[in-house]
Amino acid sequence: MNRLVVDVVPGEYAVTRLDPGTPVPAELFTAEGLVSVTSTAAEVSVVTPLEHAPSGGRSEPGWRLLTVRGPLEFTLTGIMAALAGALAQAGVPLFAISTFDTDHLLVRDADLARAVKALREGGHEIN
């Protein structure tokens, strides 16, 4: 795996679990920062900047966002494995999201320094 460039995004994020079928407020999609909504038969998961976390569900605040600079080609392999592997070796849990253009990792704020160190030691550039 080549060296990846990963940006530490300012601000705190929340991961919120809503019951299946719960509508997500449309204004979330105009919020500044990463907003991700994933719906399955079992749940609706929402990742937002903390100040935009939806109410009515179980919310886990205290996440920091690391974004791989993209866009990344769909033919590339091993990107998430390289990042997740480095973090796993350092004992840093993560919440991963992929978009059309790139990959995003959320780590607990308390683990951010260890995450940055592990990724740098794994040969990646962290900004």
Q: What is the pTM of this model?
A: 0.92
For the chain, state the CA radius of gyration.
15
Those residues with Cβ within 8 angstroms of residue 33's Cβ, 6 or more apart along the chain or in another chain: 9, 11, 13, 48, 49, 52, 65
What domain range includes position 26?
A: 5-126
Q: Using one digit for the tens of pLDDT, what is the confidence trace for 35-94? A: 999 999 999 999 999 999 999 999 999 999 999 988 787 777 778 889 999 999 999 999
Q: Using one digit for the tens of pLDDT, what is the confidence trace for 1-26? A: 578 999 999 999 999 999 999 999 99
Task: Give me the residue label for tokens 């592997």.
Answer: 85
Q: Tell me what pLDDT residue 1 has.
A: 57
In CATH, what number is assigned to the domain containing residue 59?
3.30.2130.10
Residues in the chain: 127
Q: How many domains does the chain fold into?
A: 1
Yes or no: say if 34 and 25 are a contact pair by the CB < 8 Å rule: no
Those residues with Cβ within 8 angstroms of residue 72's Cβ, 6 or more apart along the chain or in another chain: 79, 101, 102, 103
Those residues with Cβ within 8 angstroms of residue 19's Cβ, 6 or more apart along the chain or in another chain: 43, 44, 57
Q: Tell me what pLDDT residue 72 has.
A: 82
